[in-house]
């Protein structure tokens, strides 16, 4: 039986991955999205010329003058959808990810009432194994009992378990990634607003979806919604980031996320986070350089300082310059939830 499709716009953020983007755009345009918004984060690898050659009338291309990072790119994409289209929902993903066959049909079959603000897809590697970085999270901090029970999970402390991927029913989750995330557009225009831009990369998606559930809206994990993330399977469990500057963002941005997510358990959790961040130091080519960057990230995360420019972070990570410290900024309601242009 033919399913009446819900109007959904796709948002793709890209930066210097033209080979991946070609495949992603081909797979995306093959499905009946109402619009496809592509945010080009100042790529210099021929992406701009390639996008200008595209003729599909559903395409909305936004070219940034500078790289805004994934966080800034998704904020721009969300803003473009809600201001320039009449789509009921949007779905977002990176330039190395794409919807599985029949994803929109599967989404339209879901019975979603107004309490549902978002839907997280089941994200897999191309070899059909679960992509761990896109595994949605459960609220294990409801009580000491739920936290104690979660300690032995094979999917990590907070991650949705494998059996949920194999099920046929949706479940409520606390947060998710931006790969295959469907968001109700009216909610973006209203209480939820846009993703934070000051995070640059990492945890912008976790914080955004956690804000959604904190406001009382449901976020569902729908195992029948399949997305593919062609990002390569990690060769080991070691958290060694290349280039090094990425470590700054994941460490700094973990702090506001876990502070909000774990609530009064944060002070018990923080030493565990410190161990997780620093235990990988010996595996970096220059452990002292990593520790120097990690300590800066921890300091900025604790103080709520998100004002350091990306170029300063990259220069600092190579040891080519020092960062001139700005006056510390506190985490406020304004920068916890970016709501305006």
191 with 225, same domain: the answer is: yes
Residue 69 maps to which CATH number? 3.90.550.60
What distances in angstroms separate CA 334 from CA 26, 47, 95, 129, 279, one per listed residue? 38, 34, 29, 39, 34
Q: Are the C-beta atoms of 7 and 34 separated by less than 8 Å?
A: yes
Over 50: is that where the pLDDT of 236 sits?
A: no
Residues forming a β-bridge with 85: none
177 with 273, same domain: the answer is: no
pLDDT tens digits, 51-72? 999 999 999 999 999 999 999 9
Q: Does residue 261 lie within any of the structural domains?
A: yes
pLDDT tens digits, 211-231? 999 999 999 999 999 999 998
211 with 295, same domain: the answer is: no
129 with 273, same domain: the answer is: no
211 with 163, same domain: the answer is: yes
What distances in angstroms separate CA 141 from CA 103, 144, 146, 266, one per listed residue? 32, 7, 7, 10
Q: Give the number of domains in the chain.
A: 2
At residue 160, the pLDDT reads 93
Give percent above pLDDT 90 in the chain. 79
108 with 154, same domain: the answer is: yes
191 with 257, same domain: the answer is: no
Comparing CA positions, the residue from 180, 203, 179, 207 lying closest to residue 193 is 207
Mean pLDDT across the stretch 294-302?
96
Q: Does residue 278 lie within any of the structural domains?
A: yes
Residue ending a domain, choose from 203, 229, 255: 229
Q: Does residue 235 lie within any of the structural domains?
A: no
Tokens of 21: 């983007």
pLDDT tens digits, 157-185? 788 999 999 999 999 999 999 999 999 99
211 with 276, same domain: the answer is: no
Q: What is the spatial distance between Cα 157 and Cα 159, in angstroms, rounded to a whole number?
A: 6
pTM of the predicted protein model = 0.90
Tally Cβ neighbours within 10 Å of residue 118. 25
166 with 296, same domain: the answer is: no
46 with 91, same domain: the answer is: yes
Over 70: is that where the pLDDT of 1 sits?
A: no
Give percent above pLDDT 70 in the chain. 87
135 with 197, same domain: the answer is: yes
Q: Does residue 219 lie within any of the structural domains?
A: yes
Q: 330, exposed or middle or buried, with CB in 10 Å at 0-12, 13-18, 19+?
A: exposed
Q: Are the C-beta atoms of 128 and 230 separated by less than 8 Å?
A: no
Domain span including residue 158? 8-229
Q: Does residue 3 lie within any of the structural domains?
A: no
């Amino acid at each position: 039986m033919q399913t009446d499709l819900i109007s959904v716009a796709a948002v793709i953020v890209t930066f210097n991955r033209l080979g991946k983007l070609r495949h992603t755009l081909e797979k995306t345009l093959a499905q009946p999205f109402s619009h496809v918004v592509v945010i080009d984060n100042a790529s210099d690898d021929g992406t701009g010329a390639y996008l200008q050659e595209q003729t599909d009338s559903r395409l909305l291309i936004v070219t940034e003058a500078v790289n805004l990072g994934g966080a800034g790119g998704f904020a721009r994409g969300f803003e473009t959808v809600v201001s320039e289209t009449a789509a009921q929902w949007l779905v977002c993903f990176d330039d190395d990810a794409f919807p599985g066959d029949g994803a929109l049909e599967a989404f339209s079959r879901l019975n979603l009432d107004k309490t549902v603000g978002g839907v997280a897809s089941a994200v897999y590697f191309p070899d059909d194994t679960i992509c761990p970085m896109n595994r949605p999270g459960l609220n294990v901090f409801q009580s000491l009992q739920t936290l104690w029970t979660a300690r032995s999970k094979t999917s990590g402390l907070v991650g949705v378990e494998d059996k949920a991927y194999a099920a046929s029913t949706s479940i409520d989750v606390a947060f998710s990634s931006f790969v295959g995330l469907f968001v109700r557009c009216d909610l973006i225009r209203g209480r939820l607003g846009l993703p934070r831009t000051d995070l640059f990369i990492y945890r912008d998606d976790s914080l955004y979806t956690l804000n959604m559930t904190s406001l009382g809206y449901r976020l569902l994990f729908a195992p029948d919604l399949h997305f593919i993330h062609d990002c390569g399977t990690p060769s080991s469990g070691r958290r060694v980031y290349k280039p090094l500057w990425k470590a700054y963002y994941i460490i700094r941005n973990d702090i506001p996320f876990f502070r909000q997510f774990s609530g009064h358990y944060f002070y018990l959790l923080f030493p565990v986070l410190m161990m997780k961040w620093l235990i990988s130091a010996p595996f970096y080519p220059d452990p002292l350089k990593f520790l120097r960057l990690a300590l800066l990230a921890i300091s900025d995360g604790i103080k709520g300082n998100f004002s350091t420019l990306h170029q300063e972070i990259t220069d600092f990570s190579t040891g080519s310059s020092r960062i001139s410290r700005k006056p510390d900024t506190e985490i406020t309601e304004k920068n916890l939830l970016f709501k305006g242009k």
